[in-house]
């Protein structure tokens, strides 16, 4: 039997189960804080991962696997490196191995999902569909065991021939014996059949039969709600299934402090801690919101639940939980860190300089809160161009690979305008460019409490100054305007409705 050299021990462990959307970095770190020994990431599909580039994110101190559309598909950090298991969805041994090799230096273990009954997984021959193709299972697992340095595991469900009362388990037991022979380090067994849903009882007997048959560690799963409601129940479930370890999904999603020996922490405290990690690691706000909704569950109709439901940004989520100041402070620190990285000489980042001398620049940012929701600088600029019978403004936006921030240049009457501050999104960068154009022309830009719309009413402001927005007081970063190579994102005529 082949045994991987760099083994993560799967004996006697508390494990955070793989959960799509839930098992992202903030949740995994939180589960570790509360006592989980091993944390699985959400299932990530092989084809998606194979499009990703591994990027060291110096500002966040993370390693990111970034898709061509610039989405971070998998983000991890040193803190979890020895405890995180990467779960993939695959139906092909070669692809599986390519993914394992892509991530193996950043994770502690590689897992193959063989239990997901959802159509998006099974129709590609992945997840639970694999259970009816033992030859493929064998090929995938033995290829991984031979080809990766990390311990390989898989997560299965029990097979349909199981009859709980008579313990007719031949199919499941012969499958797991075959799986064990591939040399995997452990196997997680969700004690339900493929067509069963969480409301069906989990079969502790089936998991136990597997545990008594195999010599590798068996990880019992499926106990949330009926068996596992608190920390002590985890050990009871382990004993009832005679398993080596227990993997918890829903109970941990509802309150990750379930792993805490001393008992669970109040949900409010847990959610705050979760949010702090989410902000610190720049988690996408929709994912943060989803996870918080799972925790709030029956309190979604509470005033806090309503605020969460309405939140459209990480900042608004923070404000709903009384963490507005924390958000400000953390994003300021992150911006400063990014600034320092950017201040490194262009030679360090091997970017040729670009002549930007003909562009009018100011250090401004678009702060939504300072503008009326119906009027944005882009709208004002478009309106002004129409009135002056000028061609529509043309925005060209670039993204800097180093930190993936955006900068937009707007061209109006053959003159280019640009903010020297980089933004988190293309939309914000375009608004900032529009502000530079409007301010340098002394035009109204739609700020709240701004004087009437007449042209040339505002006093001209000197370039590189901004009077209103505190964030715009940030220093212009040396060399930031000549960073290359840029990833050109968009160039085209402004549509009156776009981005508003």
Binding site for ligand FMN (CB under 6 A): 17-20, 22, 42-43, 87, 113, 115-116, 155, 190, 221-224, 248-251, 253
Q: Which is nearer to ligand FMN, 251 or 481 (CB)?
A: 251
- When the beta carbons of 188 and 275 are compared against ligand FMN, the nearer one is 188
Q: In the annotation, is 41 catalytic?
A: no
CA angle 53, 59, 62 (to 5 degrees): 50
- For the CB of residue 262, give the shortest distance to ligand FMN in the complex, in Å: 21
44/88 Cα distance (integer angstroms): 5
The least distance separating ligand FMN from the CB of residue 87, rounded to whole angstroms, comes to 6
CB of 139 to ligand FMN, least distance (A): 20
Least distance from C-beta 226 to ligand FMN, angstroms?
8
Per the CB < 8 A criterion, the answer to whether 259 and 55 are in contact is no
Select 39 or 477, whichever has its Cβ closest to ligand FMN: 39
Nearest to ligand FMN of 71, 493 (CB atom): 71
The catalytic residue among 52, 116, 291, 437 is: 116
Question: CB-wise, 229 or 304, nearer to ligand FMN?
Answer: 229
Query: CA-CA distance, 237 to 228, in Å (whole number)?
Result: 7
Minimal distance, residue 245 CB to ligand FMN, in Å = 13
Secondary structure, 3-state, 203-239 = CHHHHHHHHHHCCCCEEEECCECCCECCHHHHHHHHH
Backbone angles phi, psi at 409, to 5 degrees: -115, 130
CA-wise closest residue to 179 among 150, 157, 204, 198: 157
Place of tokens 């909704």: 293
At its nearest, how many Å lie between ligand FMN and the CB of residue 113? Answer: 4
CA distance linking residue 114 with residue 123, whole number of Å: 13
Quickly list DSSP for 338-407: HHHHHTS-TTTTT------TTSEEE-----GGGB-TT--HHHHHHHHHHHTTPPPPEEEEEE-TTT--EE
User: Which phi and psi (to 5°) does residue 140 adopt?
Assistant: -65, -50
Contact 211, 243 (CB under 8 A): yes
Residues with a catalytic annotation lie at 116
């Amino acid at each position: 039997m082949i045994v991987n050299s760099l083994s993560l021990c799967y004996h006697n462990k508390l494990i955070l189960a793989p959960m799509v959307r839930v098992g992202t970095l903030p949740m995994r770190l939180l589960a570790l804080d509360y006592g989980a020994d091993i944390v699985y990431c959400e299932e990530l599909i092989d084809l998606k991962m194979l499009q990703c580039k591994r990027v060291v994110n110096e500002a966040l101190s993370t390693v990111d696997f970034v898709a061509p559309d610039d989405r971070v598909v998998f983000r991890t950090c040193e803190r979890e490196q020895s405890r995180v298991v990467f779960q993939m969805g695959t139906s092909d041994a070669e692809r599986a191995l390519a993914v394992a090799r892509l991530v193996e230096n950043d994770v502690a273990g590689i897992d193959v999902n063989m239990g997901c009954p959802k159509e998006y997984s099974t129709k590609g021959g992945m997840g639970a569909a694999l259970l009816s193709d033992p030859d493929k299972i064998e090929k995938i697992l033995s290829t991984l065991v031979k080809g990766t340095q990390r311990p390989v595991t898989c997560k299965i469900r029990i097979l349909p021939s199981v009859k709980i009362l008579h313990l007719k388990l031949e199919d499941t037991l012969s499958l797991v014996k075959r799986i064990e022979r591939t040399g995997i380090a452990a196997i997680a067994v969700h004690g339900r059949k493929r067509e069963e849903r969480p409301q069906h009882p989990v079969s502790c007997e089936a998991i136990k039969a597997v545990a008594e048959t195999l010599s590798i560690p068996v990880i019992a799963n499926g106990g949330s709600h009926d068996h596992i409601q608190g920390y002590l129940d985890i050990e009871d479930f382990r004993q009832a299934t005679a398993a080596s370890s227990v993997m918890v999904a829903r109970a941990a999603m509802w309150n990750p402090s379930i792993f805490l020996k001393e008992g669970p922490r109040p949900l409010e405290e847990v959610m705050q801690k979760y949010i702090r990690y989410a902000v610190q690691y720049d988690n996408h706000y929709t994912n943060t919101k989803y996870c918080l909704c799972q925790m709030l569950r029956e309190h979604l109709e509470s005033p806090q639940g309503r605020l969460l439901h309405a939140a459209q940004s990480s900042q608004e989520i923070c404000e709903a939980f009384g963490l507005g100041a924390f958000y400000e402070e953390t994003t300021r620190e992150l911006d400063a860190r990014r600034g320092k990285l950017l201040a490194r000489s262009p030679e360090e980042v091997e970017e040729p300089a670009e002549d930007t001398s003909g562009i009018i620049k100011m250090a401004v940012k678009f702060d939504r809160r300072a503008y009326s929701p119906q009027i944005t600088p882009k709208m004002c600029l478009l309106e002004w161009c129409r009135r002056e019978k000028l061609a529509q403004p043309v925005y060209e936006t670039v993204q800097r690979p180093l930190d993936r921030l955006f900068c937009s240049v707007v061209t109006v009457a053959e003159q280019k305008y640009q903010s020297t501050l980089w933004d988190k999104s293309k939309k914000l960068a375009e608004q900032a460019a529009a502000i530079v154009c409007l301010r340098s022309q002394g035009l109204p830009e739609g700020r709240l409490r701004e004087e009437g719309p007449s042209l040339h009413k505002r006093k001209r402001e000197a370039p590189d100054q901004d009077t209103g927005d505190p964030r715009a007081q940030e220093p212009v970063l040396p060399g930031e305007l000549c960073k290359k190579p840029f990833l050109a994102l968009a160039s085209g005529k402004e549509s009156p409705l776009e981005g508003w």
